[in-house]
Structure 1
């Protein structure tokens, strides 16, 4: 296959930019029209990072435009750019309320002379030779994002305040629902399991969504003072560990069950009632009012991660695998024939857990001949010595 030759620019001539996006990469090609023939000037492409692969197809196309503007800054500053695409990128960039990420990109692209035009028939074979077109299964996603749902009626919106607290005495959560008439419904939740402060915040948020759904709420605005929850839900933060990812997945599933669900970050001073009640719920319910609804959770609301059974996220194994793990750590390739305490600690550090692991380790260690032969022998008697004096002669 013979690729077209790159062409030098003329001062001030308009340039044409084509964009492309796939599941793992984005690209762009810059061209100029010379005698009704599209001649390429520059090719660029970028492999998406792991977090960027989760972007919607429209966000990937805008990312390709932003990346092209950064790499080809001199071309963008010295020439008018015509972006030819079948998707309404201009209307998406004009609505900063859709995404914080798109709002930042719109500001960055505002310094250039960019004009968006519908893509006509392709005159040359540049795109065929260069880009991978948008998959057909993604086209419907683009059409949906180009036509966002109409704004909700503010008169039908319920308001949700949530807060969670964790301390040495325990963990608790509190949420407050305000209906259309301004009536408040307060719920206090006692968490009978170990949790961090972020996990308690998520438990309160998930409980609020669950209760609002049971009440038949269709339009909901959740106001939380946790920057972590707000950032992860709005996709400005990344859920790095399995626990947070599990909470985030459950939250998104519950939010999709509403006609409209919006998450807004508020200051802690605006959420003092829920904050105070969550701290009180983490210790006891004795001082709470009778009109407050109380719930006790013995297990987290979030779905348990498959293959994990320990609160710290360690993998729970069966009896056969447990014996293999003990033997491998005790007398395997890297085994030290260590004693019980070190073997159990190494098992936990390796990411395994099961009930009765201490008893199983004792049984395996006792059957290890090398350990029994070389274990340090203590010369200290098991019982205290009792002096025996000879009887007095008669």
Structure 2
């Protein structure tokens, strides 16, 4: 085994690529003894060339921190990125300013680090990895670690103090029983507090649908709304349906409904969203989602990557074994879902039948019969004809008919195709 000292400097070659096919990042870490670690990262979000180059720098620094090195030298062929990171060139673009902040925070984790520009021909390997990542990567290549990033590194929400947010009074009351000085607001607090829970320092709202909803601050709601509204899985034809999707995703804040008006889209654009919502929402009949019946567990939504929900935070790596057990028991899950569906169907049938008033035909009663029970009748044609009289019952609910001239019809008619005639 090769060991490296704390003073050894690692070289990191990075490059980003962006095209119509997508975006990707290539990273090559070179140890002091010339061993190489190659990483290709597929970016599952839209990124410009400059943003991809910034993502490459961020990815390289993260890989170096995972290796545990203390001294790094980063090489990139992007003149813009290098000069902006070294602060020899300013930027007013909001996204790039966020990237600079992320890089500065990552740099604080090293004892020493710097970045230098190199010609493109000296960065061929990283460039090839970036292009490979853009095309999806080759997971069969054992020399290259293929990774995926679902959201941009600048989308990771910063920890914000909750001292001055709407949550502070509720947290204080649940923790110490402290009430606001205003008597009216204190009375409201007592009434609202039972609807919240404080677990592990996080505030949750109790949901009437079952799961706890993680409470968000104003700065965190923007990301959740954007992911749920513009993502490919939410059913949000209107403000109410979008609100339901936010709640089903496990999030809540006081002004949720007020923020959602005017965010609708054309119905054609909603088809993928509606389908995803249908597949990931538990159905009343089976009490399972279509996704869980196929894969044995529930899907993690894209919004839960950037803003973890309660169930994501509760997940532990030790649950990987439980995941394997879920796959082994998936047939039993399907069987139970089928049984619940039968119970639900029987319950619906009983409820419907209670409202149905059976109608018994009597002999010599006047009725109308369907023109063609097979349904081959034009929309504007008469659907019923008659009247006829019931002259003789055949079996349980079948009758022979005669017309108003006293002529009997050749075949009997089932009562399903008859209805009472009111003169």
Smaller-chain TM-score range? 0.3 to 0.5
Give the TM-score, by structure 2 length.
Answer: 0.38
Highest RCO, 1 vs 2 (Cα 8 Å, sep ≥ 6): 1
Give the TM-score, by structure 1 length.
Answer: 0.41
